[in-house]
Structure 1
Amino acid sequence: MSQPHLRHPVPKDAERCYAIEIGAYEGDEAATLEKIQTRITEYPQGFLILEVDGKVVGFINSGCAHDVVMSDEAFKELVGHDPAAANVVIMSVVVDPAYQGKGYATVLMNAFIQHMKTLGKQSIHLMCKEQHVELYRKMGYQYVKPSPSDHGGMAWHEMIMSL
């Protein structure tokens, strides 16, 4: 595994992140280029980029809320986001399919968790598909419940980590 480099995004990263997003997510579950641009602009400190050999190969992005409603679609565009809020909501955790299976998602998530602790956040929330529940449990997340969200026509599960 090449040594990964982590950093916050700059506006020009949006197109590469969008390409990774649509390559890794199915159909409507991928964020639009506009949503990714909004997340970079509005909350760069909640957006981590993973580079390998100078190439962006993955990222995590998020927003913060006082009251977390995981099925709130508007929040994906950071409507209601407050950078001062104690609860982090992950929007995307994605690694380019060509780089999957190398442990990069774990490197990205561990760095993200540490960063959120540094920012004084209290919890991290995410939604995932059934096949990822066990992976997130191993990273320290607790299962909450099946989500009422049908984002992208998929079944989702809510998970939380207390920091």
Structure 2
Amino acid sequence: MTALSPLIRTVLPTDLDRCFAIETLAYEGDEAATREKIATRIATWPEGFIVAEVDGGVAGFINAGATFEVQMADEAFKELIGHDPAGSEVVIMSVVVHPDFQGQGLSRHLLQAFIARMSELGKARIHLMCKERHVPLYQRFGFHYVQASASVHGGMAWHEMVRAL
């Protein structure tokens, strides 16, 4: 497959259903965010929610919240409880590409754009949790492995990573 050149843009409220559909397809079991959580993320901090648009439709996205104090295993933060747009620490909640578009460079475009946007916003660090198989992907984008997470979100094992900006 050839690499795509998506339009990377800020999420719009009209993207909700497509983002929820992608989240549901890309994540296993109950690790996917609910439609309500995605709606809250769109409404609360659209600056931290970017989408990759291909041929006029959303093909993937990254969403996050900001805070001054990171507690990676905090489930309430996934609903942006404790979010402060002025916070220096960014916590990514989803990096998702629709299965039809995986392997075509969309996650690279999304991550590069997200890192640049958070840097422009003056944030200090980006934090995330991922499955073990994704650790090398994030390391290629300057994230450093922190530790195995105490979180058991979705009944999965997670690994904490961080990238300074």
Q: TM-score range by the shorter chain?
A: over 0.9
Q: Letter of the aligned partner of 1:102 in structure 2?
A: Q
1:29-79 per-residue CA deviation (whole Å, 9 max, x = no partner) reads 000000000000000000001001111000000000111000000000000
* Counterparts of 1:92 and 1:73, CA distance in 2: 13
Question: Equivalents in 1 of 2:33, 2:77: separation in Å?
Answer: 12
Q: 1:107 aligns with which of 106, 109, 117?
A: 109
CA distance in 2, matches of 1:144, 1:90: 15
Task: Decide which of 13, 16, 19 is 1:17's aligned counterpart.
Answer: 19
Pick aligned residue for 1:152 from 139, 151, 154: 154
Q: Secondary structure at the match of 1:80?
A: coil
1:14 partner amino acid = L
TM-superposition CA deviations, 1:88-122 (whole Å, max 9, x none): 00000000001000111011000000000000000
Contact 1:2 1:53 in 2 (8 A): no
CA RMSD of aligned residues (A): 0.6
| Distance of 1:60 and 1:3 partners within structure 2 | 17
* Residue from 38, 42, 48 that aligns with 1:40: 42
Residues 4, 104 of structure 2: 8 Å contact kept: no
Matches within 5 A, 1:1-163: 1-163=3-165
Q: Which structure 2 segments of 5+ residues have no match?
A: none
- Give the letter aligned to residue 98 of structure 1: D
CA distance in 2, matches of 1:18, 1:95: 12
Using the TM superposition, give the Cα deviation of residue 2 of structure 1 relative to its aligned residue in structure 2, in angstroms.
Answer: 3.5
Matched positions, count: 163
2: CA distance, partners of 1:49 / 1:140: 21
TM-score, normalised via structure 2 length: 0.98
Amino acid at match of 1:63: G
Q: Look up the equivalent residue of 2:160 and give its one-letter code.
A: E
Using structure 1 for the length normalisation, give the TM-score. 0.99
Percentage of pairs with the same residue? 60
SS at match of 1:117: helix
Deviation at 1:12, TM superposition (A): 1.2
Q: In structure 2, what residue type is equivalent to 1:113?
A: I
